């Protein structure tokens, strides 16, 4: 099996492991930035086989400059989306915050 056969490139900025909804960025983030072992990553992502985790790491090692650029774009997109969500929280998020603040004084007095 060729290494590229482990992946579906849905778009230039969306490469996923075949048979899953998991992007290579999720696997590589855990491996590179959180220093998790392939076994820990496979346990974390239940739909991913250990072989797929190793294939993703090997793909990264063979295409390091392209994948590094891919990850930089993904991290920037993620940061932008978090900032946007903080500026414009959903109505569900606002209800959650309101419920939290209403329950906070009760929890302090109950302790």
Q: At what angle do helices 50-62 and 24-32 cross, to 10 degrees?
A: 80
Measure the CA–CA gap between 47 and 22, rounded to whole angstroms: 8
Phi, psi of 16 (to 5 degrees): -120, 155
Which tens digit of pLDDT belongs to each residue from 44-81?
A: 999 999 999 999 999 999 999 999 999 999 888 778 87
Q: Are 14 and 20 in contact (CB under 8 A)?
A: no
Block residue for tokens 């060729």: 2
The pTM for the full model equals 0.71
Q: Are 31 and 39 in contact (CB under 8 A)?
A: no
Measure the CA–CA gap between 45 and 98, rounded to whole angstroms: 33
Across residues 20-31, what is the average pLDDT? 95
């Amino acid at each position: 099996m060729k290494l590229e056969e482990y992946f579906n490139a849905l778009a230039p900025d969306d490469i996923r492991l075949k048979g899953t909804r998991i992007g290579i960025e999720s696997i590589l983030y855990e491996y590179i930035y959180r220093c998790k072992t392939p076994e820990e990553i496979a346990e974390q992502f239940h739909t991913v086989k250990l072989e797929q985790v190793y294939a993703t790491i090997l793909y990264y090692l063979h295409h390091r400059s392209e994948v590094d650029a891919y990850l930089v774009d993904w991290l920037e997109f993620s940061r932008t989306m978090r900032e946007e969500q903080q500026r414009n929280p959903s109505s569900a998020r606002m209800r959650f915050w309101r419920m939290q603040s209403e329950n906070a004084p009760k929890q302090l007095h109950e302790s």
